[in-house]
Amino acid sequence: MKKVLLIDDEERMLELLALYLKPYHYDCRKALGPKEGLQYIEEERFDIVLLDIMMPDMDGWSVCREIRQHSDVPIIMVTAREQKVDIVKGLKLGADDYITKPFNEEELVARMNALLRRAKPGNHVEMDGLLWDRDRFELSYKNQYIKLTPKEFSLIGLLMQNPGRVYSRNQLIDLVWGMYSETEGRTVDSHVRNMREKIREVGFPIDDYFHTVWGVGYKWIRK
Amino acid sequence: MKKVLLIDDEERMLELLALYLKPYHYDCRKALGPKEGLQYIEEERFDIVLLDIMMPDMDGWSVCREIRQHSDVPIIMVTAREQKVDIVKGLKLGADDYITKPFNEEELVARMNALLRRAKPGNHVEMDGLLWDRDRFELSYKNQYIKLTPKEFSLIGLLMQNPGRVYSRNQLIDLVWGMYSETEGRTVDSHVRNMREKIREVGFPIDDYFHTVWGVGYKWIRK
DNA sequence: AAATTAATTTGAAATATTTTAAAAACTGCA
DNA sequence: TGCAGTTTTTAAAATATTTCAAATTAATTT
């Protein structure tokens, strides 16, 4: 499901946008005002951002520039009415498109899809702020990067991608190490320990998610 | 220089568009009508297409659909006036943006650039003062030129254009050396070493950007 | 509660990967 | 052909990861 960040300083507009997008099964996060918006950007990964450019304490262009410091995420500016100069300014600052209020639902969704179509599809899973990204070979929590070894990285990736499923040590060895590996089951434990420790350090409640199934193996549980 | 294909059935409009774009150094190809346009698409590679949707013998949407059969090239539709329904239809058929006549030069160029920015091959990238320029075959930092060999140059270009993404040695060999190369993975290391050394010499903090991902490969990180 | 079984922790040895450095092979061109 | 710059290969030194076994801790069974 695509994650959308809505940034506006009017509660009502946020609700309206979310309502529009609801039937299309986007996962909407509402940010009331630029500060909150930028904070979310720092903490999470989004597929697209809808940004209102008429906000009192910080104008949309500054927000646009700020976002571009951190991320390449597609940005659609939302403007009150057509103002050619502003549009050009926004596009130059790194926005990808704009749409004017009042807009119709269909056009909004069509524009979002046109942008999402161009975005490179990534291979990732996210759980309560913990992001596993195969393309980047990175695990991160709220923009803190957790340095993992290759085995640790594959291990957690497999588990996160199959929440609820138990894997025995031998299954994990087959899947992560590769079939016909001579490695012993106990070795998995060491990697699990090291991995848990590293993730605990950045403040993610790993023990709520990564469970030991006594006598069987390990599983990742979806909260 | 970016290649632009203009498709319209009015000679006058083609001239006008070309005139608008002239100061921005685009390489414009004019196609009078949809047939000619589709023929060019088959014969040449373009960076972007400007497509008028009001043409008599074949409507713009059919052209749009046809183009998408052959190519992923970014398409901007040009419409006579705002017609919401039509816009949505075009976007759904694979167009990326639209602009209404009469339009202003600045907005047209801004929209083209926004699309070209997302399109894959960039001719230059800049990161914290380090400039990679394909047209000049030059890498420079604060006006100091760093002399690179062709392999080194492609290598850093690929990485800088895809910040965050890890590339394995084999992927790099496929992408830089070309598929089916017999070259060994370790060879990449040598080029990496030499390149790092040359860039370090001019004072750019290359080690903050160009990272080794242990057990996997290399990546460029955006700071 | 004691006995049993399994998981975790620990640290050191074994392996694997990357870096460094230098030599060998190759390429385009005068 | 021979040169100068480039690319590739190779081997060693430096780093980082993985493994494994012993000691400890925790959970389960009797």
Q: How far apart are CA A30 and CA A13, in angstroms?
A: 10
Return d(Cα A71, Cα A42) in angstroms, integer: 9
Q: Average pLDDT for residues A117-137, to the nearest whole number?
A: 93
Which nucleotide is nearest to A194 if distance is taken from CA to C1'?
C9
Q: Give me the residues paired with residue A145 across strands.
A: A140
Whether B205 has a pLDDT exceeding 80, the answer reads yes
Output the pLDDT for position B89.
87
Contacts of A149 in chain B (CB under 8 A): 214-215
Residues 6 or more apart in contact with residue A132 via CB below 8 angstroms: A124, A125, A126, A138, A139, A156, A157, A160, A161
Mean pLDDT of A196-214: 96
Mind telling me how many Å the CA of A205 is from chain B's nearest CA? Answer: 26
> Are the Cβ atoms of B110 and A96 closer than 8 angstroms?
no
- Is the Cβ pair A150, B92 closer than 8 Å? no
Average pLDDT over residues B158-180: 93
Domain A2-119 has CATH 3.40.50.2300: yes
Work out the average pLDDT over A132-143.
95
Spatial distance from the CA of A193 to the C1' of D15 (Å): 22
- B137-165 mean pLDDT: 95
Q: What is the pLDDT of residues B22-40, one digit of tens each?
A: 999 999 999 999 999 999 9
Check pLDDT > 90 for residue B158.
yes
Q: Please, which pLDDT band fits residue A85 given cuts at 50, 70 and 90?
A: low
- Alpha carbon distances (Å) from A149 to A114, A136, A155, A192, A195: 37, 13, 10, 11, 9
**Any idea which fold A124-220 has?**
Arc Repressor Mutant, subunit A (1.10.10)
Interface touch B87/A97, C-beta < 8 Å: no
Best of A135, A148, A153 to disrupt the B interface by mutation (most B CBs within 10 Å)? A135
pLDDT at B100: 86
Stated pTM of the model: 0.85
Domain spans of chain A? 2-119, 124-220
- Identify the band that residue B57 occupies on the pLDDT scale cut at 50, 70 and 90: low
- Compute CA B169 distance to the chain's CA centroid, rounded to the nearest angstrom: 24
Q: Which B residues 66-125 touch A at CB under 8 Å?
A: 74, 84, 87-88, 91-92, 94-97, 104, 106-107, 110-111, 113-114, 117-119
Share the mean pLDDT of chain B.
91
Looking at residue A65, the DSSP 8-state letter turns out to be H
Query: Which tokens sit at B6?
Result: 């203009």
**B106/A114 Cβ within 8 A:** no
Residue B90 in contact with residue B77, Cβ under 8 Å?
yes
pLDDT of residue A84: 66
The separation, in Å, between residue A216 CA and nucleotide C6 C1' comes to 10
